[in-house]
Amino acid sequence: MSGHSHGDIDWADRLTQLRMADALDAEALAPVARRLLGLVGERPAVVDVGCGAGGMSVLLARELARRGGGTLVLFDATPKLLVEAERAVAEVAGESVEVVSLLGDLTDPALAVPAADLVWASGVVHHVGDQQAALRTLAGLLRPGGVLAISEGGLEMRCLPWELGVGRPGLEQRLHAARASWFEAMRAGIPGSVAMPYGWPRALREAGLQDVESFGALIDHPMPGSDLLREYVVQRVGWFAESAGEWLDADDRAATATLTDPQSPHFLGRRDDVYLFGAKAIHCGRLR
């Protein structure tokens, strides 16, 4: 796989937005890295599956270094993202953390990843046709006593005021609805896609894990926010309109085009009232 996942997303093309999201999520995810590494023993082996641009990998590496070291395996199917994750981790890992980089596909039957004490997989399992099988694969990477933690679901990020002075009020809600339709079509379009008609905690139990629990990480960047926040919001609205545009009506498509156009007086990138507010859900379980 060169960068397109099974849902035909060009992940390499998403690098800029992934990096921005990594920067904005870091404050909320640092305590998650701390909490998860608190569940495993000393000098653990940790695998970040679908590590993307390496946002969480960096936080895991920092926390490993703080705790006396260990091994961190970066695993992704997109070469360009893996290189970026390696670069980001190299800046923080220090000598006590051994970093291993693996290019591969989670669905590969010959998947070869070292045994792990902690497997982290954020936003990747839902891109695999058989999500339950993917969770079994991930659980199969664990040593006895090891923990699998996934970040899936949660509360969709909000970033826009209700009224924007262009188009109809409530655009963001309609963007989310369009995005849900896109998601449904994306899932249906993955070869070998099968339904998983139950929630993530149950799926972890079905994968053979015990002590399953879920918790949230709040992403909260209030207005007026930084230039990075504004840039991210512009990218995010543009990406929603691009990927889910066919589920928007003509007025909403025109509004999103205006809002993301730097030449427009309505350009989101110059507003002082955009924000980012939402929550990531983390689900984890242990192999006994």
**Interface residues toward ligand SAM, by CB under 6 A:** 5, 11, 18, 50-52, 55, 76-78, 81, 105-107, 122-124, 127-128
What's the closest the beta carbon of residue 44 comes to ligand SAM, in angstroms? 19
Long-range contacts of 257-263 (CB under 8 A, 24+ apart): 258/166, 258/167, 259/164, 259/166, 259/234, 260/234
Phi, psi angle pair for 53, to nearest 5° = -80, 0
Cα–Cα nearest to 157, from 225, 89, 84: 225
Give whichever of 64 and 82 is closer to ligand SAM, judged by the CB atom: 82
* Tokens 């998601």 belong to residue: 183
Residue 194: both structure tokens together: 């099968």
In Å, what is the CA distance from 274 to each residue of 65, 233, 243, 256, 277?
36, 7, 21, 14, 10
Residue 44 near residue 29, CB atoms below 8 Å: no
Give whichever of 113 and 287 is closer to ligand SAM, judged by the CB atom: 113
What's the closest the beta carbon of residue 61 comes to ligand SAM, in angstroms? 14
What's the closest the beta carbon of residue 66 comes to ligand SAM, in angstroms? 21
Give whichever of 4 and 205 is closer to ligand SAM, judged by the CB atom: 4
What's the closest the beta carbon of residue 5 comes to ligand SAM, in angstroms? 4
Cα–Cα nearest to 251, from 194, 140, 174, 180: 174
Give whichever of 150 and 164 is closer to ligand SAM, judged by the CB atom: 150
Give whichever of 15 and 257 is closer to ligand SAM, judged by the CB atom: 15
Residue of minimal Cβ distance to ligand SAM: 52
Q: Where are the alpha helices (DSSP H) in 166-217?
A: 171-189, 200-206
39 burial (CB, 10 Å; 0-12 / 13-18 / 19+) is middle
What's the closest the beta carbon of residue 258 comes to ligand SAM, in angstroms? 28
What's the closest the beta carbon of residue 127 comes to ligand SAM, in angstroms? 4
Give whichever of 53 and 241 is closer to ligand SAM, judged by the CB atom: 53
